[in-house]
Structure 1
Amino acid sequence: MNKNFLALGLAAALLAPQVAGAEGFAINEWSAEGVAMGGARMFAEDDAANVAYNPASITKVKGEVMKSSYTYLSPHGSYKLYDYKLYDSNNDEIKGEPTHNKVHAGWAVGTYYVRQINDKEWFGIGAFPRFAMVSEFERESMASSNAFFSKLNGVSVTPTYAHKFDKKWSAAVGAEINYVGLELQKNLVIPTAGVNGTTQIEGESYALGWNAAANYAFDDKNEIGVVYRSRITHSLEADFKMYPVIGDKITADAYGVVTLPDSWDIGYNHKFDKKTRLELKATRTNWSTYDALNISLSNPSVPGVLPSNVDSDKNWENGWRYAIGLEHNLSDKYTVMAGFAFDESSIPHDGGDFMVPTGLRRTYSIGARYNDKKQTVAVALGWMDVGTLDFAGHPEKGDAYSSAHAYDSFTKIASISYQRKF
């Protein structure tokens, strides 16, 4: 067991997942099986990734298991801007044309360990991303006045204790150590100071949260479960740098507070027989906590140039995600899976930006798994159809357009997982 904890500790310490864009920067791709079933995987048997999907279900793990998962996400999309005006260094207007994002693919990496202590108690721990995103555009693109590079690296480490009370009830409670690393780049014009150039903000933060879960089995075929994950408030200290078109670099200290939302998962599991089961899942995420992205600047290296605050109202709305997943055992060793998920858009017209320019999402996925007595290997493919999104620009805050339209957006998904029993 000590070797397993050492391996998990190293994985958690080195883990810095760079994850492709998601609606509201929430990540649901925590294992290949989870991808294959559209994220509806709250009641899996003998799966260490239950630490992420439903901590109460780690009571379904027999013995001691460890699992690693790697999910590749590749986002694509096109955008148009309206009433667009941007000027080059000679003060000549640059004519805006429809553009698209640079393909900046990323990985969502998860590592999980579960150990059955006795017939009633289990311990589990996971390291996986709950919030992360990356988006990139050409530095001279029409979007660059709002954002041409945005990255949020995130990982949650979740030590969990679960208890099985009887054949019907099980519950779990756990802590969450959440890390975020933020990088934002944009082209900024400060008319009052007669300065324009590229800006960069980089910072990181650790914060604590918690989660709780419970399962209830009506009988051998029907089960329900609920998972709650708390809000997590980050106080982010960062470095601000500006590279003016003319003049020397300007630096400052940056500070901001961001609250990552709390969420509820509600799931239902039905076993048709020993080979086939169906899962339904609904997730409520309280994105209203993301009401603004306000950054204060202090201690500038060149006084009188930078504003004291860089504020951006977001006012996102609470939203739902619905998923359905099907799992069928072809034999004792081979299993096939399929899933579908629908995400509402939480981004209002006045709160949209080029950090996360996505609308509603429909995700279609399939997968397969091989297992024997000691190990399991699973693979999955997914296609995320991202709907259009129209959002306002804010020229008074530096945007070089009055409105934007995102369209033809999609994300390719591929995932592989490996689990080992000890």
Structure 2
Amino acid sequence: MKNIKLAAAIAAALSAVAGTAHAAGFQLTEQSALALGRAYAGVGVDGTDISGVYYNPATMTLHKGTKVQAGGVGVGLNLEFSDDHDESHDQNGRGAEQFIPHGFFTHQINDSTWFGLGITVPFGMGTEYGDHWAHNTTGVSANIITVDFNPNIAWKVNEKFSIGAGVSLQYAQADLKKQSTIIGLSAMSEIDADSTAWGWNVGLMWSPLENLRFGLSYRSNVVHDAEGTLTLEGITSHDLGNGVNADMFNGTHDGFATVEAPAWAMATAAWDVNDLLSLYATFRWANWSSFDQLDIEGTVDLPIGISQNVSSTIKNNWKDTYLFSVGGDLRLTNFWTLRGGIGYETSPIKDPKTRTSIIPDANRWWFAVGSSFKWSEQFSTDVSFAHLHGVGERNLWEDGKKVGRFRRLDAYLLGVQMQYQF
């Protein structure tokens, strides 16, 4: 049996999503359709929904009784690429529109203890170009899904301090395709693998005043040891020479991958100015400098009793990223709340020559608006829209040469959710 053992740092392939890379790297911030409407400023400590289970578990102590929340964010992309030399090579890797779901549950056990459960999609990308695209060595497609199950406990120490912690059981499945160099030959390679792995999270909330709250939270990295298949196509016997049968390399092989999703930390603030107005802010750091490169290494067992080494490497050399956002809520009536926010997020790409077409990242602005409708004391709905606009350097390089530029790196997000208190 043809057998390829992969030892791969393929974070782009497995620490990711159902959906699209539209935050820095392929991190998905969209775990709340409500907070989307203010570019995630003050998320968690705002107390307006229970998504703090994900962002900061200590903030569960803001919610009395038992609550459930469910919704998601629809995503559309515009990844418009312009070739420097041939207009026929222009492409748009947006792929199909996607929906990123989320769900939360919180329960107040007693006056000082809360339990919560979150089901989220924390990282992601979904891009697609044609197999015969002129620059397919920079990537052809990425279709990835990660689902995170995250139980949490929160403890209200006193009226000013709360702490929380949880564990994450994360399932990841990915299909990543690109033109690669295998044993010195050009081949279309596609890896399809899945895994489950564990992580953890902690949070702290401080309320120095009744109308002022600060939060600090941290989520660990998640390491996946994934198993699946690697498919090679396009290697010919003529390329191999010496009468070697290309069928020994072409086809589907067993695969294994070790991957790591980065850790991140977040600081948030909420100020309830009066009965009508609340103001919010968020700062987030993500450890993308750990995403150094994508290494694929392995061996093919040949019928003559020897093994042929195969390898392919994509250099990333990324840097850490930062998100800054501010926003506010305006409670017009008991039924209707308006909100808005603006944010700026940095790109992880340190060297433009390492940008790939499947993760064509850039610095970006967030522009967001939203609204909530409180239908009863128990039931409310939320809707939000955000435009993420890529700015700054957006060139694509191949084999050390600039081949074109992404004219647009934009995302359009529409979020809806419901909340119910028992």
- Same-fold call, TM cutoff 0.5: yes
- Structural mapping, 1:317-396, within 5 Å: 317-349=319-351, 350-371=353-374, 372-387=376-391, 388-394=393-399
The answer to whether residue 416 in structure 2 is matched with residue 416 in structure 1 is yes
Q: Residue 117 of structure 1 is aligned with which of 105, 109, 122?
A: 109
Paired residues of 2:46 and 2:280 also in contact (CA < 8 A): no
Quick check: 181-190 or 276-285, which moved more? 181-190
CA separation in 1, counterparts of 2:183 and 2:84? 22
Residues 71-103 of structure 1, C-alpha deviation per residue, up to 9 Å, x if partnerless? Answer: 10111122245689xxxxxxxxxx963322243
Q: Residue 162 of structure 1 is aligned with which of 146, 154, 175?
A: 154
| 2:221 match | 231
C-alpha spacing 1:17/1:234, structure 2 compared with 1 (3 Å): closer
| 1:33 match | 34
C-alpha spacing 1:301/1:361, structure 2 compared with 1 (3 Å): farther
Offset at residue 243 of structure 1 (A): 2.6
Offset at residue 18 of structure 1 (A): 1.8
Q: Secondary structure at the match of 1:47?
A: coil
- Structural mapping, 1:130-209, within 5 Å: 130-188=122-180, 192=184, 196-209=186-199
Q: Residue 213 of structure 1 is aligned with which of 188, 191, 203?
A: 203
Q: Secondary structure at the match of 1:131?
A: coil
Residues 311-367 of structure 1, C-alpha deviation per residue, up to 9 Å, x if partnerless? Answer: 222111011111112111111121111111210011122432112102011111111
| 1:405 match | 405
Quick check: 303-312 or 46-55, which moved more? 303-312
Offset at residue 265 of structure 1 (A): 0.3
For structure 2, the residue ranges without an aligned partner over 5 or more in a row are 1-15, 237-245
* Higher relative contact order (Cα pairs below 8 Å, separated by 6+ residues): 2
Paired letter, 2:360: P
| 2:260 match | 259
Paired residues of 1:342 and 1:363 also in contact (CA < 8 A): yes
Offset at residue 370 of structure 1 (A): 0.9
Q: Secondary structure at the match of 2:60?
A: helix
Q: Secondary structure at the match of 1:296?
A: strand
Quick check: 101-110 or 121-130, which moved more? 101-110
Paired letter, 1:296: E
| 1:270 match | 271
Q: How many residues align?
A: 390
Paired letter, 1:203: A
CA separation in 2, counterparts of 1:138 and 1:301? 32
Paired letter, 2:190: Q
CA separation in 1, counterparts of 2:235 and 2:184? 16
The answer to whether residue 292 in structure 2 is matched with residue 291 in structure 1 is yes
C-alpha spacing 1:403/1:150, structure 2 compared with 1 (3 Å): same
Q: CA RMSD in A?
A: 2.4
Q: Secondary structure at the match of 1:57?
A: helix
CA separation in 2, counterparts of 1:64 and 1:101? 43
Offset at residue 161 of structure 1 (A): 0.2
- Structural mapping, 1:45-84, within 5 Å: 45=47, 47-81=49-83
Paired residues of 2:113 and 2:155 also in contact (CA < 8 A): yes
Offset at residue 390 of structure 1 (A): 2.5
TM-score, normalising length: structure 2:
0.86
Paired letter, 1:352: R
CA separation in 1, counterparts of 2:138 and 2:117? 39
Paired residues of 2:268 and 2:281 also in contact (CA < 8 A): yes
Paired letter, 2:268: G
Identity %: 19
Residues 216-249 of structure 1, C-alpha deviation per residue, up to 9 Å, x if partnerless? Answer: 1111222211001111112222311123276654
Paired letter, 1:187: Q
Q: Secondary structure at the match of 1:225?
A: strand
Paired letter, 1:389: R
For structure 1, the residue ranges without an aligned partner over 5 or more in a row are 1-15, 85-94, 396-400
CA separation in 2, counterparts of 1:220 and 1:102? 45
| 1:4 match | none
Paired letter, 1:204: D
Offset at residue 301 of structure 1 (A): 7.2
CA separation in 1, counterparts of 2:192 and 2:29? 25
Offset at residue 403 of structure 1 (A): 4.7
CA separation in 2, counterparts of 1:177 and 1:189? 35
CA separation in 1, counterparts of 2:301 and 2:373? 58
Paired letter, 2:144: L
Paired letter, 1:28: T
| 1:5 match | none
CA separation in 2, counterparts of 1:141 and 1:269? 48
Paired residues of 1:254 and 1:295 also in contact (CA < 8 A): no
Q: Secondary structure at the match of 2:136?
A: coil
Q: Residue 97 of structure 2 is aligned with which of 87, 101, 105?
A: 105
C-alpha spacing 1:36/1:298, structure 2 compared with 1 (3 Å): same
C-alpha spacing 1:345/1:282, structure 2 compared with 1 (3 Å): same
Paired residues of 2:199 and 2:220 also in contact (CA < 8 A): yes
Paired residues of 2:46 and 2:270 also in contact (CA < 8 A): no
Offset at residue 122 of structure 1 (A): 0.3
Paired letter, 1:185: K
Paired letter, 1:366: V
